[in-house]
Amino acid sequence: MSTNGDNEFFCDGITEEIINALTKIDGLRVTSRTSSFHFKGKNIPIPEIGEKLRVSTLLEGSVRVAGNSMRITAQLIDASKDFHFWSEAWDRELDNIFEVQDEISLLIAERLREHFGHFEIQEHLVQPNTKSVDAYKLFLKGRQTFNKWNPEDVKQSMAFYQQALIIEPNHAEALVGLAGAYSFLSTIAIIPYEEGWGKCAELTQKALCINDKLPDAYYQLANLAFYTKCRYREAFEHATKAVSLNPNHAESKRLLAFLYILAGMNSEARKHFNDTLSIDPLSQETQFYSAYIEYMSENYTASMKQMDASLEVNPMNMPAHSVKVFCLLKLGRYDEAINYFNALPSEIVVTSEIIGSKALGYALKHDTTNAEKFAELLIDLANNEDGFTADSYRFLLAGSTARNDDAFAWVEGAMKLGSPLLLLRYSDPLVNPIKNDPRYIQFHHKLFPEDLFGVKNKAGKKKALFNEAELADYKARLLQLIETEKSYLNPKLSLRLLADQLGIHANQLSWLLNDSFGKNFNEFINYYRVEEFKQLAKLPENAKLTIMAIAYDCGFNSKTVFNTYFKKKTGLTPREFLKN
């Protein structure tokens, strides 16, 4: 929320920066921006949102901006029970925006750790990407506009990115954002293919010279390698690098699933896609890739059903239309495939797709006259400067009709030229008739190097943070603080504060509680608070006190947290306990 509608981009930007910061924590799964923003401005029950996002906790907040001042609020909500277990507010100046984002992200991470269990938190989660607040605001405007995913808004986003770069030429994120805009416009043929991808490559490399830890930059390199160089190995390695930098990077996770399915590694593809589904379940891209994986797995009816759902959300999704036509062809519904594009708006239909689908449909229904007619038209289109789509249909046509020599002659030529669609088309189910030919396996090995898939990451047991003597000492000191000095009676006690009292780092205390007691911070502390309540509630001198008055004396600072935790541990409500 904002006092000024013009500041919506800024509020959304802060939200996205906090999401990006939290994704840096190993062991913490954070839903992506796309799926999170799906519920923006909608009045939907909290449990339903949690179920759709597949999460147990929701972070909800607001930002109000007035002049150079801002007020940020945040609260953590148990999604299934719909209760708030933490909230905080900050009044800050815009000039300190990066410090505020870091402060908020760290505090949220600490509260999540206290509530759920051990994971390590870095000293800082947000690094300033510019010293200029004005450049940062323009970058946020560019990103918000780009995320509308249509040509006019993407062009507008380029203007914002360029203005940001005039103020701060070394703004790496703005460079990557501008690179993404160029690749988007070239992919949908708004600007010449080579020009757009050339600018994308130039800007991405410049960004990496400034900051070589940007997942989005490696994601762009992966796309460049795949779509402009036909280099599967490079694409795979860059996508893997992006995921290693940010395990919650949904775009790169989807790309890895896509690369695995093209190589015929269906189980690995589904594993990576399921990871994506847990991070970004509601985005159009996730829905499309889900349908595409079903198509490549030869589940054509299931794929069509999912494509239809995707097209309901975005009828302008040309790749979804194309794959749906392929499903129709594989299901033998040739006439539907031949006429499919006739009903679509002319502005979204690519001529090569129309001619290609008709050539395939007529060939598969053995209409020789029309098949030859449209095959000739494909050849004419393929000779154009941007004729790579039409040219790739020539391979599909040869492969689907078992003209093996023609199909492999095309593959050999495409490999020499580095055809941008060779990798995409080679393992398509439409060319199943040629897959028993020994040449198919030979070319497959060249296109999809098997050595990439031979090494598995094996996660070993995490190293203990204390030796045995230190562990025994800190456990004894911890129990002294809790059982004798009753630190839990402090309602403001936090993991970090208790760690300071012990003289150790909060990461170390979190590990100790998890490893030695099998509890997270809240479970550990609230156990003692409940026991304290059970003792105090029995005392005659407390008979006239309310239940919550006693609970507050025991260190609880929330009625909901007290009631929920008490029943969880005793099986009774506090009132039922007192009656017994």
Q: What span, in angstroms and rounded, lies between the C-alpha atoms of 550 and 546? A: 7
pLDDT of residue 387: 83
Q: Cβ(202)–Cβ(182) under 8 Å?
A: no
Reported as a single tens digit per residue, the pLDDT across 164-220 is 999 999 999 999 999 999 998 887 778 888 899 999 999 999 999 999 999 999 999
Reported as a single tens digit per residue, the pLDDT across 90-136 is 898 887 777 888 888 888 888 888 888 888 888 877 777 777 888 98
Q: Which of 321, 259, 318, 325 is nearest to 293 (CA)?
A: 259
Residue 2 predicted with pLDDT over 50 = no
pLDDT of residue 215: 94
- Of 347 and 269, more confident: 269
- Please state which of the ranges 22-26, 260-264, 566-570 shows the lowest mean pLDDT: 22-26
pLDDT of residue 236: 96
pLDDT of residue 5: 54
Q: What span, in angstroms and rounded, lies between the C-alpha atoms of 410 and 422? A: 9
Q: Identify the CATH homologous superfamily for domain 5-128.
A: TolB, N-terminal domain (3.40.50.10070)
Which one of 1.10.10.60, 3.30.540.10, 3.90.420.10, 3.30.420.40 gives the CATH number of domain 468-579?
1.10.10.60
- The alpha-helical segments, DSSP class H, found in 314-350 are 318-330, 334-339
Q: What span, in angstroms and rounded, lies between the C-alpha atoms of 291 and 148? A: 22
Q: What is the DSSP letter of 344?
A: S
Q: What span, in angstroms and rounded, lies between the C-alpha atoms of 551 and 198? A: 65
Largest CA distance in the chain: 100
φ, ψ at 60 (rounded to 5°): -125, 140
Question: Positive or negative, the Cα torsion across 372, 373, 374, 380?
Answer: positive
Reported as a single tens digit per residue, the pLDDT across 459-514 is 444 567 888 899 899 999 999 999 999 999 999 999 999 999 999 999 899 999 98
CATH 1.10.10.60 maps onto the chain at: 468-579
Q: Which residues contact 212 (CB under 8 A, 6 or more apart)?
A: none
Q: Cβ(372)–Cβ(394) under 8 Å?
A: no
φ, ψ at 52 (rounded to 5°): -70, -35
Q: In angstroms, what CA-CA distances link 15 with 36, 72, 77, 82, 158?
A: 10, 10, 16, 21, 22
Residue 310 predicted with pLDDT over 90 = no
Q: Which of 450, 444, 404, 411 is nearest to 427 (CA)?
A: 444
CA 214 to chain centre: 15
In terms of C-beta density within 10 A (0-12 exposed, 13-18 middle, 19 or more buried), how is residue 457 classed? exposed
- HEC per residue, 436-497: CCHHHHHHHHHHCCHHHHCCCCCCCCCCCCCCHHHHHHHHHHHHHHHHHCCHHHCCCCCHHH
Q: What span, in angstroms and rounded, lies between the C-alpha atoms of 524 and 530? A: 11
Reported as a single tens digit per residue, the pLDDT across 364-398 is 999 999 999 999 999 999 988 778 889 999 999 99
Reported as a single tens digit per residue, the pLDDT across 323-370 is 999 999 999 999 999 999 998 888 778 889 999 999 999 999 999 999
Q: What span, in angstroms and rounded, lies between the C-alpha atoms of 123 and 24? A: 12
pLDDT of residue 580: 78
Q: What span, in angstroms and rounded, lies between the C-alpha atoms of 158 and 151? A: 11
- Res. 430 pLDDT band, cuts 50 70 90: very high
Average pLDDT over residues 280-308: 93
Q: Are strands 83-93 and 69-78 parallel, antiparallel or unpaired?
A: antiparallel
Mean per-residue pLDDT over the chain, rounded? 89
Which residue type does 384 have?
A: N
CATH 3.40.50.10070 maps onto the chain at: 5-128
Half-sphere exposure of 342 (CA within 13 A, CB side): 7
φ, ψ at 480 (rounded to 5°): -65, -45
